[in-house]
Chain A
Amino acid sequence: MPEPPVPPEQPTPPQRPLRSMPPGPHLSGGGRAPEDGAIAATGMGGAMDLATEEGASLGKPPGPDAGGPQDRPRSLWSDAWRDLRRNPVFIVSALVILFLVVISLWPSAIASGNPLKCDLAKSQEGSQPGHPFGFNGQGCDVYTRTVYGARVSVTVGVCATLGVSILGSVLGGLAGFFGGVWDAILSRITDVFFAIPVVLGGLVLLSVVTSSTVWPVIGFMVLLGWPQISRIARGSVITTRQHDYVQAARALGASNSRMLLRHITPNAIAPVIVVATIALGTYISLEATLSFLGVGLKPPTVSWGIDISSASQYIRTAPHALLWPAGALAVTVLAFIMLGDAVRDALDPKLR
């Protein structure tokens, strides 16, 4: 075929001139509600419904504004990363989380003692050399126990979030993609789960468990938490599925699995990441709540919730035994919620 010189077309517009919008009305629906919900619910364990509103609004087909610049998750991801690196909230929360992860992997790096070695003779004693946080009611070193408690919190938070995200995304994503009867059934099931009060459910379900590992607690969180992610994922997939490139891929013979994996998932996953990050903080506080109520983790597991619970009876005489684990818990939960918030802002410039 002859190769005539290419006539000059319109020059490519500046390639990344402005912060581009994410494809479709990603996170637009929920406004700032999810965040508020997350914070309000912290400690109540009721956070699992924090994104109900968002999930519902994401389920709507793209509005008139979705026809606008339908561009660029590629630049969305790299733009988001550039934004995050400049965001002090992200840097602070990421450093806190990094520190938490390190001490939960190697607690002995900063705490040489044994969290289970307690000396009743030192019960409720205050700060002293080598024991900066003092001792609790059983005479255990509060500093060592607070450091070791991070492991359980991080483990529970991460495992519950992974479980919830995988189960919720798969179920919600498939329902959103295929629609029809299964979608309707799944929606009703999630409604049922949303109606269960989390703490009450925990009291009932976990009180019969005798295992002292973290797995029943994680299992319980996954059981009650997946509908939240499922709604988000469903809404996001429904929005993404209507994009022209999915139709175009279909018109060129892509199979359902290919459309889901190659075309929909990478473009639909951002809201799930945001909600999951915020939820992680709430799972940590839910673990503490359940442990405090005596249905979560049980000694000899070292957990902030257990320590808060056992210290609460000495609150007048030895407040330090309560304040340190409670403070660690608050900082941890806050760090994850702030991280989720920063990620959400970075992925959804429309909210600024």
Chain B
Amino acid sequence: MLLEVRDLHVEFRTRDGVANAVNGVTYSVDEGETLAVLGESGSGKSVTAQAVMGILDTPPGKITAGEILFRGQDLLKFKEEERRKVRGAQMAMIFQDALSSLNPVLSVGAQLGEMFTVHRGMSRKDAKAKAVELMDRVRIPGAASRVGDYPHQFSGGMRQRIMIAMALALEPALIIADEPTTALDVTVQAQVMDLLAELQRELDMGLILITHDLGVVADVADRIAVMYAGRIVESAQVHDIYKAPAHPYTKGLLESIPRLDQKGKELYAIKGLPPNLLHIPPGCAFNPRCPMAQDVCRTDVPPLYEVTGAGPDRRSACHFWRECLDG
């Protein structure tokens, strides 16, 4: 396994109290595999990613428990300097807003080239040639003439391509893309997503794709992990989940996708609000919003049950996953 996150807990100590942003996340990605992480905003998707990358804001954030195994080694036991060498070279991250993710005072060529001068000790001239090559690779037209341009001189989609180029520069084994297309125009989203998926296949990387766009997920992901209030509530192969969700929250998410055949009908929305992370409800965190909730849901935290008979390697954190699957 390329990356295995096991029972990860992250909390933020804020003035108002301790926010339990991540409460036992377990997921894994293999080489060449795409894992989509889904969930409402605030469910801890980004925080989990930051913990994996080792760029969590500490303080106020703190990893209180868990393991992050990268090729079998626990990254949490690494010294900061060793950890830094893993970043960029072996795992890299793409952020939501490419404009603010690029340094406005450096040309894109300088920022791309830096990956090679810093990590590979290349000369500036070679690094620049590499930068042009990368820009070509992510299909930026006229790359050679644009290496000296600054981020604000590119369109949103082009900037995200440059971010992708930077992340892929050293051919890392794992890429985490945190809502890479959310900030883009709809027309450009698909192009950028296709590029990312294509490069991932070509380089046989593991990809963790954080998104709340269920449409994208069906096309590119192999597996899905659904997060709610800092926990994985369901994980499965993409097709199994679309066929029959084993958690009421996933079910709600799927029903809230707008579909053409429903035109005119009111769009379904999960009722209620995501929980306050300072006061997560007892029992199942989803119980106040769950249409299937029973007494046991209000008292017992459901473990991550193994779901059988509905696809391989499938898990659900619902006491009533069987009922959910059936109906």
A residues adjacent to B (C-beta < 8 A): 1, 3-4, 6-7, 9-13, 15, 20, 23, 70-77, 179, 243-245, 247-255, 258, 262-263, 266-267
Contacts and interface: CB of A to CB of B under 8 A. Distances in A.
Given A9-B155, A10-B157, A251 B103 contact: no
A251 B100 contact: no
Contact of B155 (A10, A243, A262): A10
Contacts of A6: 139, 141
B47 interface: no
Size category, B interface = 35 or more
A338 B191 CA distance: 51
30 contacts: A7-B191, A9-B155, A9-B188, A10-B157, A10-B185, A10-B187, A11-B155, A12-B154, A13-B155, A15-B153, A23-B104, A70-B97, A70-B100, A71-B104, A72-B152, A73-B104, A245-B101, A245-B104, A247-B101, A248-B95, A248-B101, A248-B163, A249-B103, A251-B92, A251-B95, A252-B87, A252-B88, A252-B167, A254-B114, A258-B118
Contacts of B187: 9-10
B224 interface: no
Nearest to B155: A12
Interface in B78-122: 84-89, 92-93, 95, 97, 99-106, 114-115, 118-119
B55 interface: yes
Given A13-B155, A247-B95, A250-B87, A267 B167 contact: no
A1 B114 CA distance: 24
Contacts of A254: 88, 114, 118
Classify the secondary structure of A's interface with B. loop
Given A74-B104, A74-B150, A1 B167 contact: no
B127 interface: no
Contacts of A244: 95, 97, 100-101
Interface of B: 53, 55, 59, 84-89, 92-93, 95, 97, 99-106, 114-115, 118-119, 137, 139, 141, 150, 152-158, 163, 166-167, 169, 185, 187-188, 191, 202
Nearest to B92: A252
Nearest to B85: A253
A265 B155 CA distance: 26
B11 to A, nearest CB: 18
B166 A252 contact: yes
A12 B137 CA distance: 20
A6 B140 CA distance: 8
Given A9-B191, A245-B103, A251-B95, 10 more contacts: A1-B202, A9-B157, A10-B155, A10-B156, A72-B104, A74-B105, A248-B102, A251-B53, A262-B114, A263-B103
